[in-house]
Structure 1
Amino acid sequence: MAHPIPTAAELDEVAEVLGRVRASIATVLSGLEPAIETTLATVLAEGHVLMEDVPGVGKTTLARALAASVGASVGRIQFTPDLLPSDVTGVSVYRADEHRFEFRPGPVFANVVIADEINRASPKTQSALLESMQERRVTIDGTTHPLPSPFLVVATQNPVEMEGTYPLPEAQRDRFMTRISVGYPSAGDELAMLDSHDGTDPLHHVTAVTDAETLARLIGVATRIYAAPAIKQYIVDLVRGTRAESTLRLGASPRASLQLLAAAKGRAALHGRNHVLPDDLKALAVPVLAHRVIPSIEARTAGRTAEQIIAGLTDQVPVPADARDRSVQTV
């Protein structure tokens, strides 16, 4: 049974609440509008975000500013080489006085989980997040424990070529809806940062502008955004194009199709629309697809990155004629 598309009042609430969150983050970081927009679209899709860039450009600050702006439970995990899976998910402790095991939940049991420098832990520990990210639950000693709703993982990592890092397993990279590169700030933004951070930490002044219940409701609104059949065909064409691309050794999975659609709905809701447009897909193709594919040896030798290949593919795949007609999406 099809759900009704969001009303104007519902979309107004999305714009108003997410506008407050955007403004709250902007008090800490400036010049990161594209990264912030992609992050908020992912949040509305209840997806997980991977922030990858060199140290010191604001990845963790952006993750903490997002968490502080939402009045929800927050769990932070500092990934290190000696971190154990039980340090992430929790452990069962035997209570001798009561002759029973008691489960003590780990930091993953929170609405927003900040996984800081996730690729500094061993692949075994990284894999502890697989079940929670996909199924939003954790199984310990044969007992399944549901995670709170909404549940979002915001992870940061340094490029794998840097010392002391481990590449994320492909299965885990595929569970991140988007990957965001923060990049270096402009000269003006860096100068503004010197002023705002002079003698104080702006994060200390960030207060919650919404709560978990409201965020869960807005996520429900975003899931009801309309996507026309032509839009869905365009998604399939884009994702299948990665599998046929000669410069890619590994193309995107079917999960990528689902997450590209969900992220596009989140972006449409963020822009106050009750329907997805091709522009939403083009804006999100690189953040959603690039981290899921593996360039061929020839492509890497030629200096081509996954981002460049996906951007080129987006330009090559034709947009279905029906997808350009806005009347198709606004039934």
Structure 2
Amino acid sequence: MSILKRSLLLVSMVMLTVAVMAQSVEDAGAKYNEGNEFYKEKDYSNAVTAYEAALNTANETGADADDLKGSIEKQLMNAYYKNGLAQYKGRKFDAAIAFLEKGYAFGEKLNDASMKKKTSTYIAKVRTSKGNSLLKSNKINEAFAEYEMATEILPNYPNAYYGKGMVYKAKDDMANMMVNMDKAIELGAGNPKAAKIAKKAKSTTAKALVNAGAKEIQKEHGKKATEYIVSSFNYNPGNAKAYYYLTLAYNNTKNWDKAIEAANKAIGMETDNKSDMYFALGQAYEGKNDAAGACNAYKNVTSGANVEVAKYQITQVLKCS
């Protein structure tokens, strides 16, 4: 082949390459513009598809498409985020997480702090919502895994700690329940947006501890019951029910003075039937060898399962006047 022919062939190849590359950039631009139209229409799913196609073409084209590639990546990142929110609103948690995580990855790649913050916040919210759904279905361990991942990406999200607390509550692990509920309360303090979950954490923890105390009383574990019920007062002021159970717990451990104190608080708070509380008070006075106090308390037992027992104590044991 002559030098002239070789030169012409080389020129032809170069021109062909330039033409192909120009066409590739044009194709990428067309897909990018298509994505922009979908984005304007809030059709984020199709926008993602178009931007992904545009980015693939730009990557194949190489350096000539670098400027366009930067614009595509930014819009694709935004589309991932918007599509993630749309999936979340539709309660499609897994799809939402997938898109939001892609948006977060682009935020890291493009050094976009705002996008990283937005996507991490919503990833935590979606994972917590998914955890709540799993917890309602009694899938406790799966729920915990979601809450754990939520706190990993957003360590200051109180709702996720509340969820973890609920898992431990379901497992009757009061110690770890309190640790996580305390964290939810701490993060909610001074934050108006988190005030509701902090209040809920206090109420839930207090009730759980009182109920746990009641279970321990049934097992004759008065000391443990006392610890749980007294701890509940750190979260909410005790009500009549809590102080009644505390009376039973103190009676179980023969701590008569504290039992009397707790019983009187319960009686003072109760607005309905007080017979069970008076019976527990009578037992405390009787344990303390205060016959007069016991007689007075037992005489106020006027209904319920303890009426006959109270009468027996009054007439046969204490010989009340």
TM-score by length of 1: 0.26
Which structure has the larger Rg? 2
Q: Greater relative contact order (Cα 8 A, min sep 6): structure 1 or 2?
A: 1
Q: Say which structure is richer in strand.
A: 1
TM-score by length of 2: 0.26
